[in-house]
Structure 1
């Protein structure tokens, strides 16, 4: 059986959903709730996401991570979560790199983290979505200035 999202099914069939799709906030709250079910569970962290190239980061996964908990949930999969990679979690939960980095990267916690800690970070991402500082930090992170300085010495 091939898993398809609701959007993919709409391309080949007329689909009437019995329940409306979850909002971004609902998906994040559901993920946090999953993590809170077993708050002492040790989860694997992702090593150095901020140093990975975009293509490597998007494909990165860590067995037994907070993303694995989300992907093991039938509700989130039915909503369209396709796998437990960094890039898919970023897309599905509508997170910026900085937000997802704060949730899963090892630089904040070491090699493992408690599920309760990850849940707190997921919940913090819910409130960040409209804040000016977050938008500014994300914009600065994508400025080409660093590349200009890197090439100036060549």
Structure 2
């Protein structure tokens, strides 16, 4: 048997590297770790995610944002992260709108944020499961009166 490098194998075959599936917590932890590699890096914030219609919000993206950092990582892409849109991040990281809003929205930090700050918000989202306030806020956001107001803006 002849030893070949991965590059040599790519010349004769399509080589796919597979990773064991990560849990939600592992995906969030990995994202936070990516952000913490350069905590002083300035990242772009998303403007007014809470005021966007659902369709616009799901397609929203911002160059050099916390979501771009996640999408640039080959491990997260191999795990199934398809792009750096708000909707894809919400799906992939299994976050509520309120949790993702806390990570990426400009209303907390202005037009830019430090990567270290975003990492803290990601870690906060990891620990929010089961907390009464977050569940209550999420339930209120789905009351019919708030859905009517959201649709009225469309």
TM-score normalised to the size of structure 2?
0.83
Q: How does 1:8-19 map to 2 (within 5 A)?
A: 19=19
Measure, in 1, the Cα distance between the counterparts of 2:34 and 2:71: 11
Equivalent residue pairs, number: 134
Secondary structure (helix, strand or coil) at the match of 1:128 reads coil
TM-score normalised to the size of structure 1?
0.83
The CA deviation string for residues 43-64 of structure 1, in whole angstroms up to 9 with x for no partner, is 0000000000000000000000
Runs of 4+ in 1 over 3 A off after TM superposition: 146-150
Aligned match of 2:33: 33
Aligned match of 2:46: 46
Contact 2:18 2:78 in 1 (8 A): no
Mark the structure with the bigger radius of gyration.
2
Aligned match of 2:142: 142
CA RMSD of aligned residues (A): 1.7
Unpaired segments of 5 or more residues in structure 1?
1-16
Cα gap change, 1:18/1:113 in structure 2, threshold over 3 Å: closer, same or farther?
closer
Contact 2:19 2:79 in 1 (8 A): no
Unpaired segments of 5 or more residues in structure 2?
1-16
The CA deviation string for residues 79-99 of structure 1, in whole angstroms up to 9 with x for no partner, is 000000000000000000000
